[in-house]
Structures are given as C-alpha cells and as structure tokens.
Amino acid sequence: MISSLPKRISTIAPLFQPLHLTQFKYLHLNNNLLQENNTYNNFNPESYYTSCLSQITHIRPLQQLHARLLVSGLHYNGFIITKFLNVSSNLGLVRYAHEVFDEFPDPYVFLWNAIIRGYSMQNMFSEAITMYLRMHECGVRPDGYTIPHVLKACGGLPSVRVGRAVHGHIFRLGFDWDVFVQNGLVSLYAKCSRIDVARVVFDRVDDRTVVSWTSIISGYAQNGQPWEALKIYREMRRLSEELDWVTLVSVLSAYTDVNDLQQGKSLHGCIIKLGLEFEADLRIALTTLYAKCGELVVAKSLFDQMEVPNVMLWNAMISGFAKNGCAEEAIQLFWDMLSKNIRSDSITIRLVILACAHAGSLEQARCMDEFITNSDYKHDIYVNTALIDMYAKCGSIELARRVFDRILNKDVVAWSAMIVGYGLHGQGRESIDLFQAMIQAGVTPNDVTFIGILTACNHSGLVEEGWYFFHSMRQYGIEPRHQHYACLVDLLGRAGFLEQAYHIIRKMPIEPHVSVWGALLGACKIYRHVTLGEYAAERLFSLDPYNTGHYVQLSNLYASVRFWSGVAKVRVMMKERGLSKDLGYSLIEINGKLEAFRMADKSHPRSKEIFKELEILERRLKAAGYIPDTESVLHDLSHEDKEETLCNHSERLAIAYGLISTSPGTTLRITKNLRACVNCHSATKMISKLVNREIVVRDANRFHHFKDGLCSCGDYW
C-alpha cells in the first residue's frame, strides 16, 4: 500500500486545495473533528466518510475526498469504497469509479454490485455485462442485488441471447424465485419483444409487487398489445393492488393506443385523487391521450401548465394537432418551440413534416426542407423519407424525386415512399420503372412497396401490370393483406371486370374488410351494376355502419339509374342514424397562405371579383363547347349539389380566386376534401387550356395535373 502512495498522491496533489463550494461546508467543519476523534476508540471513520459522501454533488469534492482516503489509508475499506463507487456512478463518473474499483485488491460482491450498477444505471450495458463476466471469472458469486442490474443491462442489448444466458445463471444460482429477479426478467423479455416469455415469468411470480404488475402492463403496452395491457390492469385493480405513477403511465399509454378517451378521463380523475397530477411523465401521458383523441383544448391546457415542457411534451402536442386536422397549429407550435431554444429531436421533425403534408402548402414544405438542410438531420434517412412523402402530398412529385435522389444509402422505406408518391400522382410507368431499379439495386420490396406499385397501376389503368405485381408478392415472402386486395379489386372494377373483382373477394383467404367492399361498390357505381352494388353496400353497412361515404355511394348508384325511391330510402337510413354528408371545401395556396372556399361561398373579402371571374370563365367555357352534365346534381346528397348551378362548386371558386390573385402562367395548387365531380373535372381540363395554366388538384383519392386541356389521370379516376 505504501509503495503505491507516491504515484497516487502525485496525480491528485492539486486536489489538496480548499473546497470552494459552500454546500460542502460539512466536510470542512469535520476535518478538525476527524483529528480530535482519532484519539478516541469510539471514532467511526466509515460513518464519517459515508456521511460526507452522501452530501457530494460535484466531481471536485469527490476527488478531494478520494485524496483524503488515500492519505488516511482508508482506500481499501470496502464499505467506504462501495459507497464511493455508488456516489461516483450517480454523478455520471462511472469510468472514474472503475479506476477506483480496479485499485481494490480482491473485491467482494458488494463492490462488484456497485460497479455493475453504475454501468447499468448510465446505460453502458455492454460494460455492465463485461463486468458481470469478470465477476464470474474471479470466482465471486453474485447475490440477489447483482442480478437485477445485470438484467437491466441485458434489456438494453440488441439481442435477447445474453439475457437468456443470464436467465440460465439465475436458475443455477437459485435466484429464480426472488421477486426482484423475476421482475427484472419480465422487464428484460418485454424490452426484447418476447412478451410471451415475459408473461410466463410473470405468471410464476407468487408474491407480486406493484413493480411486477407494472413490468407486464408496460411490456404489453410497449409491444403493441394495449388490450392485453388493460386486461392485466383490470386484474390488478380487482385484487386491490396499489398503484404508482409508473403503472399509470403505461395504462394511459394503452388507453391512448385504443383511443378510449372515456376510460382515460376516468383514470385522470384517479390520478388527481392520488395527488400525482404534477408528475412529469403522467402529464406527458395525459397530454398525449387528449391530443391523440382530439381533445386539443384540454391537451393544450395541460401543456401550458408545465413550467418547462420537455421535447416529449412538445412532440405530443405537435402530433395531436397534426393528426386531428390542425396542421397549421402544429407547424406554428414547432416554430414556437424553436423560438424558446428547445432542441427538437428526429421525432419532432418528422411530425412537423407530417403536418406540412396534411396542410398541403408547398411553400411551407419548402421552408421545412430548407430548415432540415441547415440542421443536423439533413442526412437522416427517416427525415428525408418523410420529406419525399411531404412533397408528394403537397403536389410536387419533382421535388419529391429531388429529395429521393440525394439520399445516398436508400433503404426499402425510401424506395417505397417514392413509389407511393408516383402512384398518388397517377404516374404508373414511372412507379414501375422505379420498382425495377429498386430490385436491380438489391433492395427487397416490402408490403408497403407493393401497395404503392398496385396503387400506381390502379390510378393509371394498368390492369395487366397490376395483376402481375399482385401475384409476384409471394416470391418475396409477402402475403397479400386487405390493402393489397382492395387495390386489386379497385383495379379490376374500374376497368369493368366486376365479376372477376367479385370472384377475387370470394376467394380471399382472409375476411374482406371495409376497403375491399368499398372498392367494389365504387366500381359498381361507375358501371351502374345495381345488384352487385347493393350487396357490397350491405356488407359495408354491417362492417362500418356510421361511414357516410358508403351511403352516398349507394345513393349515387341508385341516382345513376334513376331509381329515385332507392335514393329516398338511403336518405331515410342516413337520417335515422344521424348521418349527414360532409360539406365540400377546397383550399388554394396564394403567397404561402391557404384560403378555403365552400360551394357558393361569398364570405371572402374579394367575393365580387371572384364571382365576376367565374362569370367570365363560364362564358368562355360555353363558347368553347363545354356542356355540363346536369343529371349529376341529383347524384349526390351534399349541400353543393342542391344548388341550381354547377359552376359555383368550391374548386371553381378556388380557381377563380387563383386566377385573379396570381400572375399569368403561375401554377394553381388546390386541395379538395371530396372526390372531384365529373363536371368540375371536365371544366378544369378546359379551363387549363383557356387560361394557359397548369392546375394541380388534390382530391380525396389522388392528384390531378390539368394542363393544355388534359388531365394526368387520363379521365381514369
């Protein structure tokens, strides 16, 4: 020991300086006490130094105390050094703790536990496992306090293999009935996505604690099984087990996943009764619940009550706004976040990109792209993939392709996003070419890739190609799901192959879902096949009885064959169920600002100019030979179709406003919440030629690029 002192003292000599931090006054005052009590047999250095250690919150006083231990010869005292290692780890100085540990001759189990705990606590999982293996090599037997820290480290590794090996150690060591160890195993397997094994371990726990219940509930919630999580929670409550805030966070997460706002509100009341409403993680979970379920006022109120909302709370609010039709508010919240110098993460960026996609504003999309280009996320593949989707949904497939081309190491998600984008814009051939390039690049397609390629074929009327791609899925190990079948049925149905489409549905190995029957009903409306359409509608009403779109489709089908009693019957059904068709509206972006129009809307400040422009357009259309289909006014149940004229539809107003608000040659970009009607589609084609403009319209199904009297959809929509 004496021979090692000169080297150690020379390295820490600068630390023998007066302490500067007032909170360590206790250490100063007791220096004399130490000297005085050295003369008495009842002085306890362990008690003294552990008391000093308990007050340390910074590295410098810790190093000074370490120097005193070296000088006094107490650096080999196991009790003091164990405490020293724990304090060092708590301060994030686990490397320093390791150096001190290595100087201790023949460390016993408590010292090993301290260093393993330190690495595990600091999420240095590989190092924790390495120390556990060294412990075995040194012949030191772990105890019940060692294993939970080791299991936590195993849960942080990418593979469950090491965890299984440690599980084997637990059996051999006889700790398999220790409740703390069992809880650790439940958490381990849940984190490694082996919730089935976690449940087996949980079922063997006899003396369950709140940690046991929380581990399995959070495990199910984190592994996408919220209903199972809630089932366990109900069992826990039935047994009158105590609750803590960790349990409640997991339960709130489960209620959020299943969109059960009512039960979430009930749990909120329970949280208030328990006095836990100010717990930060619970506040985040509650904000997320209300935001996702559309209670944005309540969510914003909870958000505003936080003194310093962290990035997770900001993400919860931005997500809530973005996914509940408040894209503009989501985008503004992001800029507010940056103005408060709160650092965003990758999730924040992707949520804001999603909001920009929902808003449909190309100018906002460009601003977001510019921000990302100047940020740390410019090479993030997930962010760039989101940008591809954003540009495609904002009407610029060219800018989407530009982002795609700048990604160096494209994964299947990036390829799929671009293929889906082409499909959305009806560019089937481009989508097929990109799919082939993807295969040549050695990237294996996934189920989303095939949804994109089938959608592209569907929107372009490429029946043979779509049929080929559908049947080639299995060679890549992909079983068709509902969306794939819906695309195929829609493809065949729109091309007039109704019987073949129905045959596909009957032979499906899975139960046909709403999307499949909806595709068949839409095709029946196009080709006026009443019998098959009625059957498809019956299936839809049983599966999704409160979706107004199905009733409108059936009504339109009846109207197309002038079966007016059928139309009246559908209207009665809708009235009985309290349903009404959504009113149509159109948005147009002018100078970065979105303007909204409804049918015959005269609320705009420039309405006189707009309607004057409409009159001019109507005269020019008639002079060019345009004849509206007046029967279509009877085919719909919306407010727009009850008006006498068809020229006042919302997209016509948006076009007129765009023409008087922009310079000649400027592209007009319009978003409509409903499917484009036959009259507006025909009129917009002719208008694009008359005014020499490109007009891009995003309706409920796809994009239409009108130019020189033609539409990119080829009148196939």
How many whole angstroms separate alpha carbon 581 and alpha carbon 616? 31
First vs last Cα of the chain: how many Å apart?
Answer: 87
What pLDDT is recorded for position 631? Answer: 55
Contact 599/645 with Cβ under 8 angstroms?
no
Inter-helix orientation angle 125-137/109-121, to 10°: 160
What pLDDT is recorded for position 19? Answer: 36
Closest to 581 measured CA to CA, from 655, 481, 478, 674: 674
Determine how β-strand 703-707 pairs with β-strand 710-711: antiparallel
Contact 421/405 with Cβ under 8 angstroms?
no
Torsion sign (Cα): 370, 373, 376, 381:
positive
What pLDDT is recorded for position 503? Answer: 95
How many whole angstroms separate alpha carbon 339 and alpha carbon 179? 48
DSSP 8-state symbol, 56:
-
What pLDDT is recorded for position 633? Answer: 52
Summarised one tens digit per residue, pLDDT across range 274-295 is 888 888 888 889 999 999 898 9
Summarised one tens digit per residue, pLDDT across range 244-268 is 888 999 999 999 999 899 999 999 9
Contact 698/360 with Cβ under 8 angstroms?
yes
How many whole angstroms separate alpha carbon 83 and alpha carbon 70? 15
Give the DSSP letter string of 502-550.
HHHHHT-SS---HHHHHHHHHHHHHHT-HHHHHHHHHHHHHH-TT-HHH
Instruction: Say whether pLDDT at 45 is over 80.
Output: no
Contact 709/688 with Cβ under 8 angstroms?
yes
Instruction: Say whether pLDDT at 8 is over 70.
Output: no
Q: Which amino acid does the sequence have at 419?
A: I
| Average pLDDT, rounded, for the chain | 86
Percentage with pLDDT > 90 across the chain: 49
Instruction: Specify the higher pLDDT residue, 92 or 48.
Output: 92
Instruction: Specify the higher pLDDT residue, 393 or 644.
Output: 393
Summarised one tens digit per residue, pLDDT across range 288-320 is 999 989 899 999 998 888 777 788 889 989 999
Determine how β-strand 668-672 pairs with β-strand 695-698: parallel
Listed in sequence order, the residues at least 6 apart from 289 whose beta carbon sits closer than 8 Å to its beta carbon are 252, 255, 256, 261, 264
Cα angle vertex 379, ends 376, 384, to 5°? 110
What pLDDT is recorded for position 241? Answer: 82
Tell me the mean pLDDT in the region 532-538.
95
Would you give the distance in Å from CA 354 to the centre of its chain?
Answer: 10
Place 464 in a pLDDT band, splitting at 50, 70 and 90: very high
What pLDDT is recorded for position 255? Answer: 94
Instruction: Say whether pLDDT at 22 is over 80.
Output: no
Summarised one tens digit per residue, pLDDT across range 568-598 is 999 999 988 888 877 788 889 888 788 889 8
Name 335's bridge partners.
none
Instruction: Say whether pLDDT at 484 is over 90.
Output: yes
Least confident of 45-49, 99-103, 667-671: 45-49
What pLDDT is recorded for position 403? Answer: 96
Place 438 in a pLDDT band, splitting at 50, 70 and 90: very high
What pLDDT is recorded for position 602? Answer: 87
Record the pTM.
0.73
How many whole angstroms separate alpha carbon 93 and alpha carbon 587? 57
What pLDDT is recorded for position 68? Answer: 82
Instruction: Specify the higher pLDDT residue, 8 or 673.
Output: 673
Instruction: Say whether pLDDT at 31 is over 80.
Output: no
Instruction: Say whether pLDDT at 645 is over 60.
Output: no
Tell me the mean pLDDT in the region 36-40.
45
Side-chain-side CA neighbours of residue 342 (13 Å): 16
Summarised one tens digit per residue, pLDDT across range 186-211 is 999 998 889 999 999 999 998 899 99
Summarised one tens digit per residue, pLDDT across range 606-623 is 999 999 998 999 889 888
Maximum mean pLDDT: which of 66-75, 269-278, 378-387, 648-657 = 378-387
What pLDDT is recorded for position 400? Answer: 96
Instruction: Say whether pLDDT at 669 is over 50.
Output: yes
Retrieve residue 13's tokens.
């000599």
Look-up of token digits 């795609």: 404
Retrieve residue 572's tokens.
């009665």
What pLDDT is recorded for position 507? Answer: 93
Tell me the mean pLDDT in the region 133-155.
90
What pLDDT is recorded for position 480? Answer: 93
- For 45, other C-beta atoms within 10 Å of its C-beta total 17
Summarised one tens digit per residue, pLDDT across range 321-372 is 998 888 989 999 999 999 988 888 999 999 999 999 988 888 899 999 999 9
Tell me the mean pLDDT in the region 594-606.
87
Length of the chain: 717
Find the helix or strand (DSSP H, E) in which 588 lies.
strand 585-590
What pLDDT is recorded for position 373? Answer: 92
What pLDDT is recorded for position 236? Answer: 92
Summarised one tens digit per residue, pLDDT across range 508-522 is 999 999 999 999 999
What pLDDT is recorded for position 647? Answer: 58
